[in-house]
Amino acid sequence: MKLMAGNSNLPLARAIAGYLEVPLTDASVRRFADEEIFVEIHENVRGEDLFILQSTSYPANDNLMELLIAIDACKRASAKRITAVIPYFGYARQDRKPGPRTPISAKLVANLITEAGADRVLSVDLHAGQIQGFFDIPTDNLYAAPTMAADIQARYDGDLMVVSPDVGGVVRARALAKRLDNAPLAIVDKRRERPGESEVMNIIGDVSGRNCILIDDIVDSGGTLCNAAQALLDAGAKSVAAYITHGVLSGGAVARVDKSALKELVITDSILPTDAAKDSTRIRILPIAPLIGEAVRRIADESSVSSLFD
Ligand code: R5P
């Protein structure tokens, strides 16, 4: 097995390499004067089972291009099998046509990765499970829920309630609730009653006196989360914390979280945390390397990945 890292999240790549006790393959990614990307592998990878680690996070286009070029370099160097390990799969939110004459970019990106020469994909908490079907190659979707559940169980004694911040996230919230001894579930239902009127947040479920755990796949601007946290407190929740797999945290998101009603925002390091996120007293980062490292080991050994979640 060989592990190769793109530049999107080197600390995570090193942590996965540490877990597997496999050194990172000696490769370099350089830029030409016009910013074109050039990847060079400095050791033999012929016949190897090769895993390329790269999140397609900010800057999404550069990181995606780097991944595609790295796959091409490995394919042309005669690697036996190439697995694109994409802890955070960007463009995933564009998974359907929101209106006429719009793209389905998640499918386009899946096509690009496959066409570049990947034989398999490994990702974590894809925005929608059906994105696996956008790839015509085997795709494993890992879940951060067991890691989150262990953390929650170590910190809370009771009165837990798992909350989905929108109707689309109910399946994910139910899966976490099941791992927390079947904790009760609530849903934040956002709706605009009439055009031009501001959105109303309805809470489905009785959250009064509960320690609410909001769960979602992505925190980007933080708007969804911070508004949901306020609505839950207004509805009588005892406390509100959030567990989110991918800390995209664009623009002023960290400042928004710092000023919010959230007791804590817990993210994984699927995306390299910014200095602002690391410095925030409200944000905590859960390491995801053991989960990804174990899945990589099982793929290399041809053993079951799904049994990680039994
Ligand atoms: C949306 O469907 C996702 O699951 C997240 O809820 C969304 O991307 C969060 O975005 P923001 O933090 O900008 O509200």
Report whether pLDDT(279) > 70: yes
Q: How far is the CA of 37 from the centre of ligand 1 (A)?
A: 30
31-84 pLDDT tens trace: 999 999 999 999 999 999 999 999 999 999 999 999 999 999 999 999 999 999
Interatomic CA distance for residues 11 and 103, integer angstroms: 33
Q: Which residue has the higher pLDDT, 85 or 196?
A: 85
Examine the pLDDT at 190 and tell me if it is beyond 90: no
Q: In the structure, what pLDDT confidence band is assigned to residue 196 with cuts at 50, 70 and 90?
A: low
Total count of residues recorded for the chain:
310
Q: What is the residue-averaged pLDDT of the chain? A: 96
Domain spans in the chain, listed from the N-terminal domain onward: 2-142, 145-286
How many CA atoms within 13 Å lie on the side-chain side of 216?
A: 25
Average pLDDT score over residue span 301-305: 97
Q: Which CATH class is domain 145-286?
A: alpha beta
Of 87, 89, 41, 82, nearest to 64 (Cα)?
89
C-alpha 305, offset from chain centre: 18
Integer distance in angstroms from the first to the last C-alpha of the chain? 26
Atom number, ligand 1, closest to the C-alpha of residue 219: 12
Residue nearest to atom 8 of ligand 1 (CA): 218
The response to whether residue 219 sits with its C-beta less than 6 Å from ligand 1 reads: yes
Question: How many whole angstroms separate alpha carbon 226 and alpha carbon 257?
Answer: 7
Is the CB–ligand 1 distance for residue 94 below 6 Å? no
Q: Is the pLDDT of residue 264 over 90?
A: yes
Q: Measure the CA–CA gap between 117 and 157, rounded to whole angstroms.
A: 48
Q: Write down the pLDDT at residue 135.
A: 98
Query: pTM of this prediction?
Result: 0.96
CA of 219 to the centre of ligand 1 (A): 5
Architecture of the structural domain at 2-142: 3-Layer(aba) Sandwich (3.40)
Strands 27-31 and 37-41, bridge-based pairing = antiparallel
Query: Helix, strand, or coil here: 39?
Result: strand
Measure 100 CA to ligand 1 centroid, in angstroms: 22
Contact assessment for residue 265 and residue 284, using Cβ atoms and an 8 Å cutoff: yes
pLDDT at 67: 98
Q: Report the nearest-CA residue for atom 3 of ligand 1.
A: 218
Residue 170: Cβ-neighbour burial (10 angstroms; 0-12, 13-18, 19+): middle
- In terms of Cβ atoms closer than 10 Å to its own Cβ (0-12, 13-18, 19+), residue 305 is middle
Compute how many other C-beta atoms are within 10 angstroms of the C-beta atom of residue 259: 12
The pLDDT of residue 304 is above 90: yes
pLDDT score of 191: 79
> 101-111, pLDDT tens digit by residue?
999 999 999 99
Same fold, 2-142 and 145-286: yes
pLDDT for 158 equals 87
Ligand 1 atom closest to residue 166's alpha carbon, by position in its atom list: 6
Helices (H), the chain: 10-20, 60-76, 105-116, 145-155, 170-179, 223-234, 253-258, 275-279, 289-301
pLDDT score for 309: 94
Q: Point out the ligand 1 atom lying closest to the alpha carbon of residue 221.
A: 13
Q: Say whether 259 is catalytic.
A: no
Q: Is the CB of 59 under 6 A from ligand 1?
A: no
The residue from 107, 178, 190, 263 that is catalytic is 190
CA of 21 to the centre of ligand 1 (A): 35
